[in-house]
Amino acid sequence: MGLNKRDVTLLVIVAILCLFAPFILNPFPEGSAMAQFNAGYPDLMQRLVIFGIFAIGFNILFGLTGYLSFGHAAFLGVGSYAAIWMMKLLTMNVIPAIIISVLVAGLFSLLVGWISLRRSGIYFSILTLAFAQMSYSLAYSVLTPITGGETGLQPKVNDPRILDGALAEGQTPRANLFGLQMNQSYEMAVGDWVFTFNAGYYLAAIVMLIAFYISIRIFRSPFGMMLRAVKSNQQRLNYTGLNAKPYTLAAFVISGMYAGLAGGLLVAMDTQVGAERMFWTASGEVVLMTILGGAGTLIGPVLGAGFIKYMENIVSKINKSILEQWFAFMPDGIEDLLVTLVYPFIGKGWHLTLGILFMLVVIFLPGGLVEGGQRVGRLFKRKKPAGDKPDGKTTPAE
């Protein structure tokens, strides 16, 4: 497969995590006080892997070249709109929708990258942000007949769908993979635990594994080495006679295609699209995912995406009544104090918790969650100091 032993191990670990996610994300029995923290339901599992794809693609641009884009949500939105129109005009089968989302996002990113990469640094970032906001404004108001404006788009019974047969009266169009509906699930009860296996999740997980494998190949390729050279010192690279722009443009387009793929999968899982996917906060979210997990690392963006989506969907659901149940065993005065202290950081205040954690990671773990894992691993692994030899002699550092 063109991978070294370490990369194969990493790919296998990610595959195992994806395969057994319904078990891993449901550690607590149903009905228990801690069941609030279970994340093994289809909608969240789908979002974990789809936004993992989004972050993997962004990391190819930012992690390898150092070019910080604040407009990647535009490609996510363009891919989503392309996918929904494919479902409205051609078929509810998700394969054509996913393919067209990647192609359209790639073409749009080629245009945006060709213009934006004329500048670097903060000027490049502002240009991409401007494109994203223009795209959002167009989708929200100007191109309403195409985008649905504020209400968005979703498949309707009277859509032409050339390749699909007519629906029976009362039926609604549903995304499927050659007849297998994406919302189809199987529940397995084991004691007090309930594990859900969803068709849409496993499709998205397979696509994510393929996207992850491709990113590994890019990181280990001569092309990836050129991108690292751009990040290290682009001016010195230019002095060697090499033109860096084709490489950075290629990285930008690949990154945009990853975003379009994520947008297409979002439509495949939930067949409705709104302009909010192109808003600047969505672009900021993928930046946070990448930095939090570890920019320039392979698995870091996936970890960052999972962490943020978990907090967004789990921590945000905890309310004051749940806190009161947790601290009910304490005396009334202490219970009220703890609820008062904790409540601002959960529920609607989950962004405050995320902001504090992000600040701590940036200050103490510049390499993100991956660096944190490496530090923990070193604590449990004995390693002789570099340069030591069995005879006790040392050699000078190179």
pLDDT tens for residues 103-130? 999 999 999 999 999 998 899 999 999 9
Top mean-pLDDT range of 146-150, 254-258, 312-316: 254-258
Residues 183 and 96: their CA atoms lie apart, in Å, by 18
Q: Compute the average pLDDT of residues 57-83.
A: 95
In the chain, % helix, strand, coil (3-state, to 5) comes to 65, 5, 30
Contact 306, 294 (CB under 8 A): no
pLDDT tops 90 at residue 237: no
Matching residue, tokens 């949500």: 73
User: Apex CA 295: angle with CA 259 and CA 311, to 5°?
Assistant: 70
Token pair listed for 16: 């195992």
Residues 205 and 202: their CA atoms lie apart, in Å, by 5
Burial of residue 16 (CB within 10 Å: 0-12, 13-18, 19+) is exposed
Query: Of 211, 214, 245, nearest to 227 (Cα)?
Result: 245
Average pLDDT of the residues of the chain? 89
pLDDT of residue 396: 40
Q: Compute the average pLDDT of residues 214-223.
A: 94
Contact 146, 233 (CB under 8 A): no
Top mean-pLDDT range of 128-137, 235-244, 330-339, 365-374: 128-137
pLDDT tops 50 at residue 395: no
Q: Compute the average pLDDT of residues 8-37.
A: 90
Handedness of CA 61, 67, 73, 75 (dihedral sign): negative
Token pair listed for 39: 């994340």
Contact 346, 315 (CB under 8 A): yes
pLDDT of residue 248: 95
pLDDT of residue 221: 93
260-303 tens-digit pLDDT? 999 999 999 988 898 988 988 889 999 999 999 999 999 999 99
In the chain, how many H helices and how many E strands? 16, 4
Matching residue, tokens 């801690």: 34
pTM above 0.85, yes or no: yes
Residues 117 and 124: their CA atoms lie apart, in Å, by 6
Helix axes 199-220, 42-65, angle to 10 degrees: 10
